[in-house]
Structure formats: C-alpha cells, structure tokens
Amino acid sequence: MEISKIGVVGAGQMGNGIAHVAALAGYDVRITDVSQDALDAAMTLINRNLERQVTRETISAEDKSAAMGRIAPTLTLADLGECDLVIEAATERETVKQAIFEDLIPHLQPHTILTTNTSSISITRLASRTDRPEKFMGFHFMNPVPVMQLVELIRGIATDRQTYDACLKVVQRLGKTAASAEDFPAFIVNRILMPMINEAVYTLYEGVGNVESIDQSMKLGANHPMGPLELADFIGLDTCLAIMNVLHDGLADTKYRPCPLLTKYVEAGWLGRKTRRGFYDYRGETPVPTR
C-alpha cells in the first residue's frame, strides 16, 4: 500500500520530532494532543528546528516552508482517521496507550496501519487489544528524532509482511536506517542501553564514583559522546525506570533490578532535563551535579 498521510498521537519530544521528519520527507501530517499548549509548543519547536537546518544549509527555506505547511495540529483524535499510518507517541504507560487505541480505532480506515513508538512495551500485547493485530507494529524512533538515524521496527506475533514492508518504505523515505527487532522486552537498543545506565546509577549509589567522575570516565575512557547519567537526564529518569521495570518484570532476571537511587530520584520528581533537576541541576547557567 502507498502511504501519503501520517498521523502522530502526542506532541511531546518524540511526537514533534516524528512530525518534523515526516513532513520534511513529503508526508501530510496530522499531529494531535490533549493539550493546546502542547500543540502550540510543538509547532514552535518544529519551526525552530527546521530553521536551524536552514541555517546549517542542510535544507532550503522553501523546504522548511513546505514542511510546515504539511503539518496540521488538532485536539481531535478522530481527525487522524483519514491517515494511512498512525504513530502513537504518547506517555510510556501501557494503560494510556490502550486507551488511545480504543478511542482511535472506530475512526480508522480498514487499511490504516497502527503503530506505537513504545521503547519497551510488548507489541503483541498492545496489538491484541486492537481490531487489527496484523496491521499493528512497533515503530521506535530514537531521541532526538531529527538527528538520530535509527528506527527500530518490531513485529508482533500477528504482524503481516505487507505491514512491515510498508513501514520499512516509510523509514527509507525519511532517510533513516531500520533495525528489525524481535518482540522481547525493550527490543535491541534499550535492552543494551538501559542496563548500562542502571549500572551507572548503581555505581553512584554504592559510592564508587560521583556523577562527574562516572560521566567523565565513560566519555573519556569509552569514547561515549555523553556520560550515562547525563544521558539518563536527557532521556528522562521516569522513562529509564519504566523501561528497567519492563525488563525486570518481563525477563524475571535480577540483573535488571532498577537501582533504588533511580527510583528515589523519580519519586522526588527529579526526572532530568524536563524538570530541570536529575543527576544534574539545570536551573543555573551550567548544569551542576546533584551528587
């Protein structure tokens, strides 16, 4: 099938990035959220990020104008019913995603492919709660979407070949690379990345090093562009904890036990950059380690 219209559910950091790259690739995009403020902020951010690309001469001013013209924000979930592909990019909570699919499905066309940007939740289980498990799959972008080149494509047990091939064509048109992952907890990237971040938090928790020394060690000793604690703040500590819980519950292995310090930071509401405090304090001119 030919995909020309893409719907995006959720206007947060993932949703606005997906809308950005889809519109730039020539797709008509409908983006929805429950908050008008979130939609306004998303459109402002997309415009700013496109302008940055114009400044860097990676796209033209005409490309930017055309992309912005292809994005239609809406508060009405039913408006996504005319789309050929819908990508859900809401909060990483299964109950939230299930509620969205339940409200959306009555408005979809029979051929519409339904996907989720989940970073860890079972695709098969999410698909089973819809009317189209064969046309349902995981479409996992990396953050920040306009910069990161990888997209994980995850088939559930019922996903058919035509659905996978159609999503693969979308990834290629976006100018990104697809990695095919099996439907196991956290897939490929987060199955490897999150335990490393969790171990960095344990290293902090046990007093082996402080925030600065841990991040500096991994940047200079392992050539990582960003230290694991800095990266955790960027991702969101609530998201890191949610993924570790999915790994721990889904694989029943104690090596995936979330660090108590990670849980404590989340309980305090110190979720990283988005709340201006996490393993670093971002309220001043430069980030300051909190431990």
Establish whether 274 is an annotated binding residue: yes
- Whether residue 190 lies in the annotated active site: yes
CB 64 within 8 A of CB 53: yes
Query: Cβ–Cβ contacts within 10 Å for residue 126, how many?
Result: 24
Candidate list 16, 49, 119, 122, residue with the active-site label: 119
Cα(244)–Cα(252) distance, integer angstroms:
11
- Whether residue 20 lies in the annotated active site: no
Establish whether 64 is an annotated binding residue: no
Establish whether 10 is an annotated binding residue: yes
- Whether residue 223 lies in the annotated active site: no
CB 86 within 8 A of CB 6: yes
Establish whether 14 is an annotated binding residue: yes
Candidate list 94, 117, 122, 152, residue with the active-site label: 152
Establish whether 135 is an annotated binding residue: no
CB 214 within 8 A of CB 206: no
Establish whether 15 is an annotated binding residue: yes
The gap from C-alpha 30 to its chain's centroid, in whole angstroms, comes to: 17
Candidate list 20, 49, 120, 140, residue with the active-site label: 140
b/e map 271-291, b = 16+ CB within 10 Å: bbbbbebbbbebeeeebebee
Establish whether 284 is an annotated binding residue: no
Establish whether 223 is an annotated binding residue: no
Candidate list 49, 117, 190, 198, residue with the active-site label: 190
Cα(42)–Cα(13) distance, integer angstroms:
8
Establish whether 11 is an annotated binding residue: yes
Q: Can you say which residues are annotated as belonging to the binding site for NAD(+)?
A: 10-15, 33, 92, 97, 119, 143, 274
Instruction: Please give the annotated binding residues, written as ranges.
Output: 10-15, 33, 92, 97, 119, 143, 274
Catalytic residues: 119, 140, 152, 190
